[in-house]
Chain A
Amino acid sequence: MASIGRKLGFDSSFGFIMGEVKVIGASLSLFCCRVEWALKLKEVAYEYIEEDLRNKSPMLLQYNPVHKKIPVLVHNGIPIPESLIILEYIDQEWKGYALLPEDPYERASMRFWAKFVDEKCVQSAWAACCAEACERDEAVKSAQESLGFLDKQIEGKKFFGGEIMGLLDLVVGSLPNWLRFLEEFAGIKLLDAEKFPSLHEWAERFIQIPIIKERNPPTDKLINYIRANPPTTNKP
Chain B
Amino acid sequence: MANEVVLLDALASMFGMRARVALAEKGIEYEYREEDLMNKGELLLKMNPVHKKIPVLIHNGKPVCESLIIVQYIDEVWKDKAPLLPSDPYQRAQARFWADYVDKKVYDAGRRIWTTKGGEELEAAKKDFIESLKVLEGVLGNEPYFGGKTFGFVDIAFVTFSTWFLAYETCGNFSIEVECPKLIEWVKRCMEKESVSKSLPDPHKICDFVATWRKKHGVGVGRLSAYMSTVTLDRFECVCFWGLLSF
Q: Which A residues have a C-beta under 8 Å from some C-beta of B?
A: 1-4, 7-8, 66, 75, 78, 80-82, 85-86, 88-89, 92-93, 104-105, 107-108, 111-112, 115-116, 149
Judge if B245 is at the interface, Cβ distance under 8 Å.
no
The distance in angstroms between the C-alpha atoms of A149 and B49, with both chains bound, is 10
Task: Determine how close the nearest CB of chain A comes to the CB of B190; give it in whole angstroms.
Answer: 15
Q: A2-B141, A105-B62, A112-B65 are in contact. Are A85 and B96 (CB under 8 A)?
A: yes
Smallest Cβ distance from B1 to chain A, in angstroms?
A: 14
- Cβ A1 vs Cβ B90 within 8 A: no
Q: Knowing A85-B96, A105-B59 touch, does A112 contact B91 (C-beta < 8 A)?
A: no
- Give 26 CB contacts A-B under 8 Å: A1-B95, A1-B98, A1-B140, A1-B148, A2-B139, A3-B90, A4-B97, A66-B135, A78-B90, A86-B93, A88-B92, A88-B93, A88-B96, A89-B92, A89-B93, A92-B89, A104-B73, A104-B77, A105-B62, A108-B64, A108-B72, A108-B73, A111-B72, A112-B65, A112-B69, A115-B66
Are A105 and B50 interface neighbours, CB within 8 A? no
The answer to whether the Cβ of B108 comes within 8 Å of any Cβ in the partner chain is no
Residues of chain B within 8 A of A116, CB atoms compared: 50
Q: Give chain B residues whose Cβ lies under 8 Å from the Cβ of A105.
A: 59, 62, 64, 73
| Size of interface on B: residues with Cβ below 8 Å to A | 34
Chain B residues within 8 Å of A78, by CB: 90
Residue on B with the closest CB to A76? B90
| Chain A residues closer than 8 Å to B94, beta-carbon distance | 1, 3-4
Is B83's beta carbon under 8 Å from chain A? no
B71 CB, min distance to chain A CBs, angstroms: 10
CB-defined contacts of A112 to chain B, threshold 8 Å: 64-66, 69
The distance in angstroms between the C-alpha atoms of A14 and B224, with both chains bound, is 59
The 9 closest A-B pairs by CB, nearest first: A92-B89, A104-B76, A108-B73, A89-B93, A93-B89, A108-B64, A85-B96, A111-B69, A80-B93
CA distance in complex: A8, B147 (Å): 18
Interface residue B146 (Cβ < 8 Å from any Cβ of A): yes
| Bound Cα distance A4, B154 (Å) | 13
B111-146 contact mask (Cβ, 8 Å, vs A): 1 or 0 = 000000000000000000000000100111101001
Residues in B with CB closer than 8 Å to A89 are: 89-90, 92-93
Give, as a whole number of angstroms, the nearest-CB distance from B159 to chain A. 14
Residue of A nearest to B141 (CB): A2
Q: Is the CB of A85 within 8 A of B93?
A: yes
Shortest Cβ distance from B99 into A: residue: A85
Whether A1 pairs with B139 at a CB distance below 8 angstroms is yes
A172 CA to B73 CA, complexed, in Å: 22
* Cα separation A93 to B244 with both chains bound (whole Å): 53
Give Cα A78 to B88, complex, Å: 14
Does B138 contact A2, Cβ atoms closer than 8 Å? yes
B100 lies within 8 A of chain A by Cβ = yes
Docked pose: A78 CA to B93 CA in angstroms: 11
Which listed residue, A81, A104, A149, touches B97 by the CB 8 Å rule?
A81
Q: Which residues of B contact A75 (CB under 8 A)?
A: 90
Q: Which residues of A contact B77 (CB under 8 A)?
A: 104
Using Cβ atoms and an 8 Å threshold, which residues of chain B touch A4? 93-94, 97-98
Which residues of chain B come closer than 8 Å to A115, judged between CB atoms? 66, 69
Cβ–Cβ < 8 Å partners of B69 in chain A: 108, 111-112, 115
Residues of B near A1 (CB, < 8 A) are 91, 94-95, 98, 139-141, 143, 146-148, 154
B241 within 8 A of A: no
Residue of B nearest to A146 (CB): B50
Given that A66-B135, A85-B100, A112-B66 are contacting pairs, would A107 and B76 also be in contact in the complex, using a CB cutoff of 8 Å?
yes
Q: When the two chains form their complex, are residues B138 and A82 in contact, meaning their CB atoms are under 8 A apart?
A: no
With a cutoff of 8 Å between Cβ atoms, the chain B residues found around residue A88 in the complex are 92-93, 96
With both chains docked as a complex, state the minimum distance between the C-beta of A91 and any C-beta of chain B, in angstroms.
Answer: 9
Specify which chain B residues have a CB less than 8 angstroms from the CB of A7 in the assembled complex: 138-139, 141
